[in-house]
Chains A and B, each alone.
Chain A
């Protein structure tokens, strides 16, 4: 017990909903037996205005610095209570909630005293967790430097305009000094936007006249490091001989434009008579509008990208309109698959009729064929095949990311897959992250779009950046409390966490390669914590919500459980939510489950699971989201790997592998949750309890030591995978081969851990036979393990009368 902690427990009556079934006085008595609890009170409501006033008053009077509210759903009300307590100088993490109502009062048919007993066990577990909490100071995030807009996309100007209007300094990294040149080349990325050029020119003029914008012409982007507020961006020198140019900036907006490629020869593309959009624009620039029969074939359906047909049709329409307005003797046909809706407004249809632009649909069942001077097609009305004459045929472009953009995106740390756009899908687990991307991205590389949309995205990215920068200016920008931090003294720079982290919050301090400690960008980290649970050296910690806290909770709970009771963890998004909803629905189920709250099931370090058994639990069920629905991307899958590891270790030690189980529950199906829970409880009760013998305790201690072993953690961390993944590292060919190797490592390390435990518990000489009797292991494994431990210098070996004796080194 930490004597600086003053833990208060408040139990709600909740308008009869708790009071009517739980003996609150008995509960209070039981909770007070815990020496860590400094104060208890039964209150009508903790969450209403009078209740919160009472809470604050008590906290002030009694000097309480951590509180447990035993009432209802933490998912719904913890935020409100926390927010009020922050006014009293609390921090997030200092308040915990136990759902007395929905996990105890409304879901079981027990006597009020029994209800109180169950509630007390859960409250004591929460108290133990809070008692172990080590508060970290609040970290202020500040922007050291201007906003940099890089990537060279056209959205750069819209973003810069938005920032300058908000009087925020920015640097724009562009390819050329002359913005006229940019407009001249714009059709390569955004053809058919001629009507927009005047407006764009105005934006560019405003940007170039502004004192807030600094314009730099740079070479290739070669590096990006740092974190929100303090990035260092490196560009190669444009002359390619000088040293690279670096800039220290506070925030980054990436404006990237996708690339347009020609359709292949199977659409008859030859660059002269059969051309694509960008070539058409180029032709208009250079030669003016041609005469004769011009056919725009919107062939996106035929080239396999029907999703871009709208965009191509709008672009074709814009060019066709320009041509028809410039020249009277041009005959334009818009040739399109009948599946496509004509994307014109009523006014545009009128203009189209007036300009005699013909919209000709064809039956997509027969692919039109390009022939010399004619296109063959099938009419959707009469199903007759016709021929459409043409002098110039304009095809839709193929849209892709482009080599340069792909390279830049990689440097920026954006995930980009072959043949896909950079559309960022981010984990949305904190409200402030909804609609925000770690890297603010704008332009058609994100997803094909027209110029208007690209500029809009630029403005939007700038607005979001500006909101954060302005928050910093007001001094209100703080890092979230529950994010991962790296202890640099423990980190060896193995990089495992970065591979596991899906939110992209972890970066090396500097450069790539081994031996460099990692750091976490707190503004990007989602607090999922599966990375922290994987760290081989416990160097990565989910601060204010640590594994140690979870270990303390399971330890406190496991000690109190009777033989038939089991404990479980439910994640906020799946198991716990389903349990809450079971309570709301008033469904009744087996009371022998004690459910603990966890943000994501992936936060559970295998050490937490092993600790539960070490402290006396007979069964542990982890209830997460349905498969493939983990809110923290892969937390659930990682847990699967961890659970199977614990199963193996239990099996090796002679315990039943079924004592730990992973369950998948949808929050909207509380009956699924109940089915999982009851089935697990029955299973554990059929197995009977783990006998509390000295030998069993020694084995469980061995398991606990094994999952804390760096080698085991490394192997399990490096092979964390989703159950159906097929590629395996090294020479393991498949799941079975991998599993056999993994099992071998586990056995070896388990033996070593147990030997170490035995030898360090009793510092005397042990004979091999004696050790074998205790461990009941195979002779070869044991000799091998002992040999290794001797080599590592952990133990010493001496021979007496020709028999080897082992002892722990001092």
Chain B
């Protein structure tokens, strides 16, 4: 067992655990969006940032992928962490302004508007790719993927046609942290009788 501190609380953890897992085991709350227990972490949304103090150094890292280490001190809610999270939320608010979940979370951090330009006021998806990972790792079919690159990147199916591989299980809708997948599902699973034998 490794020993370290989270917010001045002594914590013990196995080397293969991440900071986020160790914190949650102690009931310490760290906000997350793209993290889901059913799949491996991907570090897409960056919201789970924490400040890690090691010796005289301090750095801001994402807790969902940062392995625990002997002797470090982790701050989950320091001024620096809060500041970074506010920035992230402001960017997310510009990315997916229509998402109720993001709005609520941003409001918790006192953010109502974003200083960044809003491309699409109807957008709900933040492109974290959690749906893609669940489809691959939990359902095992890889029906959805990210389509396009850069600013054109969206979540969709190959050739933007309803996917043959989709089993219409709805796992992507259930795990979606922003509620975006609900409106996209019909484009993925296709018309109702496509799944009938």
Contact = CB atoms under 8 A, between A and B. Distances in A.
B24 A580 contact: no
Give the top 8 A-B pairs by smallest Cβ distance, nearest first: A431-B140, A47-B37, A667-B170, A50-B25, A48-B21, A577-B170, A428-B167, A425-B197
Contacts of B24: 15, 44-45, 48, 50
A435 interface: yes
Interface string A565-607: 0000000110001001100110000000000000000000000
A640 to B, nearest CB: 16
A80 interface: yes
Contact of B27 (A13, A73, A572): A13
Contacts of A736: none
Interface in B5-21: 13-14, 16-18, 21
B179 A51 contact: no
A633 interface: yes
Nearest to A629: B192
Task: Indicate the member of A13, A50, A572 with the most B CB atoms within 10 Å.
Answer: A50
Nearest to A44: B25
A631 B29 contact: no
A434 B141 CA distance: 7
A502 B197 contact: yes
A580 B14 CA distance: 32
Interface string A3-37: 00000000001011000000000000000000000
A507 to B, nearest CB: 18
A631 B22 contact: no
Given A50-B17, A431-B140, A75 B171 contact: yes
B38 interface: yes
B113 interface: no
Given A47-B38, A502-B197, A668 B27 contact: no
A668 B173 CA distance: 7
Contacts of A584: 173-174
Nearest to A19: B27
Nearest to A16: B29
Nearest to A584: B174
21 contacts: A13-B27, A15-B27, A47-B37, A48-B21, A48-B37, A49-B18, A50-B25, A75-B171, A76-B38, A76-B134, A425-B196, A425-B197, A428-B167, A431-B139, A432-B140, A573-B168, A584-B173, A631-B167, A633-B196, A668-B170, A668-B185
Interface in B139-197: 139-141, 165, 167-171, 173-175, 179, 182, 185-186, 192-193, 195-197
B196 A45 contact: no
A429 B167 contact: yes
Interface string A56-80: 0000000000000000010111011
B40 to A, nearest CB: 11
B118 interface: no
A391 interface: no
B140 A50 contact: no
B107 interface: no
B138 interface: yes
Contacts of B196: 425, 628-630, 633
B195 A428 contact: yes
A575 B16 CA distance: 38
Nearest to A435: B165
A339 to B, nearest CB: 21
Given A13-B27, A49-B21, A577-B169, 6 more contacts: A50-B24, A50-B25, A75-B174, A80-B38, A434-B167, A585-B179
A435 B166 CA distance: 11
Interface string B40-70: 0000000000000000000000000000000
Contacts of A434: 140-141, 165, 167
A286 B91 CA distance: 73
Given A80-B38, A668-B173, A51 B25 contact: yes
Nearest to B136: A431
Interface in B106-146: 134, 138-141
Interface string A424-444: 011111011011000000000
A53 interface: yes
A410 to B, nearest CB: 18
Task: Indicate the member of A16, A580, A668 with the most B CB atoms within 10 Å.
Answer: A668
A73 B197 contact: no
A626 interface: yes
Contacts of B170: 75, 573, 577, 581, 667-668
A629 B195 contact: yes
Interface in A246-287: none
A585 B25 CA distance: 25
Interface in B63-105: none
A353 B141 CA distance: 45
A542 to B, nearest CB: 19
A581 B27 CA distance: 25
Contacts of A53: 14
B124 to A, nearest CB: 13
B182 A431 contact: no
Nearest to B139: A431
B173 A581 contact: yes
Nearest to B193: A628
Interface string A551-574: 000000000000000000000110
B29 A633 contact: no
Contacts of B22: 50
A602 B21 CA distance: 39
Contact of A426 (B21, B29, B134, B197): B197
Nearest to A429: B167
Contacts of A581: 170, 173-174, 182
B182 A668 contact: yes
Contacts of B138: 76, 79-80
Contact of A580 (B27, B140, B165, B174): B174
A668 B192 CA distance: 12
Interface string A733-754: 0000000000000000000000
